[in-house]
Amino acid sequence: MAKVKKSAAATTRTVNKAPSVEFKSSEAKSSSSKSHASKSHAGSGHDGIIEPAKGKLGVMIPGMGAVATTFVAGVEAVRKGIAAPIGSLTQMGTIRLGKRTDGRSPKIKEFVPLAGLNDLVFTGWDIFEDNMYAAARNAGVLERDLLDKVKGRLSAITPMKAVFDHNYVKKIDGPNVKKGKNKLDLAEQLRQDIRDFKKSSGASRLISIWCASTETFIEPSAAHQSVKALEKGMKENDENIAPSMIYAYASLMEGVPFANGAPNLTVDVPAMLELSREREVPICGKDFKTGQTLIKTVLAPAFKARLLGLSGWYSTNILGNRDGEVLDDPGSFKTKEESKLGALEHILQPALYPELYGNIFHKVRINYYPPRGDNKEGWDNIDIFGWLGYPMQIKVDFLCRDSILAAPIVLDLVLFLDLAQRTPELRRLGIQEWLSFYFKSPMTAPGLYPEHDLFIQLIKLKNTLRYLKDEELITHLGLEYYD
């Protein structure tokens, strides 16, 4: 594994210094796993069963902040016909079927039976009492004019009391919080919330998607190793069981798929995998791939494809939303840095290319800067080298809007997770690795290294959809055109 050194700023709480991390990959080792024989055609094994998307789909969101309100307001705007769902693969993307010469490229939403936007109904939990309109105004992502056009719908969505513990998110606090005798009791309260919402909304199916803050860093412990151990730990208020895990447990126990949009451990532990497999409820995560990491998973594959060397990659971010405030705490930043650092090593495979990627200096910084609000700036300095070792540089300044990039990811995950839940072959898997496209730190089967290359991830996603519909998988070999 790569060596990770924590700077003083990463271990000491300070106002003047941003947390940072240094990364050296000189001792990186490759991971290996057994591969299964691939199927040249979906029909060789797929049972063809996909249950129809009948009725309403309830979307339950822990954390009604900038990302959640931008997502819901956007869906309402698209439903009203006053905006377009730009960035959403499920709404605007197409999928090629058959040969390039066949001319078959339907929209994804017409190819597989996804829930329609008019079928979605929303609720959520938050530590603040603001309804979704007020929360969206406070987040400051969307313009007042657009919000006012969907005010009626947003104002009707008020948050349920949240499961929250200030020890796991030290920079924020709020009054709208559940009380219980232990963590298992809090989980039971969440389960009742889920049942109540399903009944009151008339939803036939539900999805939970974590859009709340990054929690402090937690490593897998004994409490995470089985469902029995997890339940015992919740009864005993084990400190290694964070609030996000309580939401995930409650959702899975109620048969509700769970997506983790933050880098928290949450469902990426044996107990949650056991529960998802046992109850046949899909899970996926971690950490929405939005700004800087999106750029890394585009550029790094290009360097590797052309066998250009990489000596250093310096990344810094400034943002001023609630996420930036939370990440100003070293514990929460540690969770985020783990998510941000993994992509380069897995894409570049330094053990296979030691002369090109065996001595990378990788540094990541996040700076809380309130004036910037949700308009994050991700700045990267990349030192590469080419023919005969001659050095070159690339500099990227991505002035992005974090929640604008995240909102279509939330929509796609909601609709694809619902598709997975209606497909017995997928829901039995538990982890939905085919949704890695949307995450910084994708979950995989135990012992399997994650695929981070954005373009391979997209091929995996689309081939999964082809497989489900008994269409030929696209390999891009193309020899048949020259027979």
CB 200 within 8 A of CB 254: no
Average pLDDT over the chain, rounded to an integer: 89
Half-sphere exposure of 128 (CA within 13 A, CB side): 17
pLDDT value of residue 370: 87
CB atoms within 10 A of CB 466: 21
pLDDT value of residue 48: 78
**Residue 210 forms beta bridges with which residues?**
260
Residue 21 in this model has a pLDDT that exceeds 50: no
pLDDT value of residue 169: 87
CA distances from 443 to 51, 90, 144, 237, 447 (A): 25, 21, 37, 26, 11
pLDDT value of residue 143: 95
CB atoms within 10 A of CB 110: 10
Q: Of 411, 400, 407, 374, which Cα lies nearest the Cα of 141? A: 374
Residue 41 in this model has a pLDDT that exceeds 80: no
Q: Give me the count of residues in the chain.
A: 483
CA distances from 236 to 181, 185, 233, 239, 267 (A): 10, 11, 5, 9, 20
Arithmetic mean of pLDDT, 93-102: 96
CB 311 within 8 A of CB 26: no
**Residue 259 forms beta bridges with which residues?**
209, 284
Q: Which amino acid is at 59?
A: V
pLDDT value of residue 330: 72
pLDDT value of residue 401: 92
**Residue 418 forms beta bridges with which residues?**
none
Confidence of residue 10 (pLDDT cuts 50, 70, 90): very low
pLDDT value of residue 333: 63
Q: Are strands 120-126 and 160-161 parallel, antiparallel or unpaired?
A: parallel
Rounded to 5°, angle at Cα 8 from 7 and 9: 90
To 10 degrees, what angle do helices 227-235 and 183-201 make? Answer: 110
Arithmetic mean of pLDDT, 171-197: 95
pLDDT value of residue 253: 98
pLDDT value of residue 40: 40
pLDDT value of residue 445: 93
Q: What is the CA radius of gyration of the chain?
A: 22
Residue 325 in this model has a pLDDT that exceeds 70: no
User: What is the DSSP secondary structure assignment for residue 298, as one 8-state letter?
Assistant: H
Please state the φ and ψ torsions of residue 321, each to the nearest 5 degrees.
Answer: -85, -170
42 vs 312, higher pLDDT? 312
113 is written with which tokens? 């039976």
Arithmetic mean of pLDDT, 70-95: 98
pLDDT value of residue 375: 86
User: What is the DSSP secondary structure assignment for residue 112, as one 8-state letter?
Assistant: T
Per-residue pLDDT tens over the stretch 185-239: 999 999 999 999 999 999 999 999 999 988 988 999 999 999 999 999 999 999 9
pLDDT value of residue 335: 61
Q: Which amino acid is at 408?
A: P
pLDDT value of residue 340: 60
257 is written with which tokens? 């798929």
Confidence of residue 320 (pLDDT cuts 50, 70, 90): confident
State the DSSP string of 303-357: HHHTT-EEEEEEEEEEE-SHHHHHTTSHHHHHHHHHHHHHHHHHHH-TTT-HHHH
Per-residue pLDDT tens over the stretch 349-365: 999 999 999 999 999 88
pLDDT value of residue 381: 97
Give the list of residues 6+ apart from residue 36 with CB closer than 8 angstroms, or none.
none
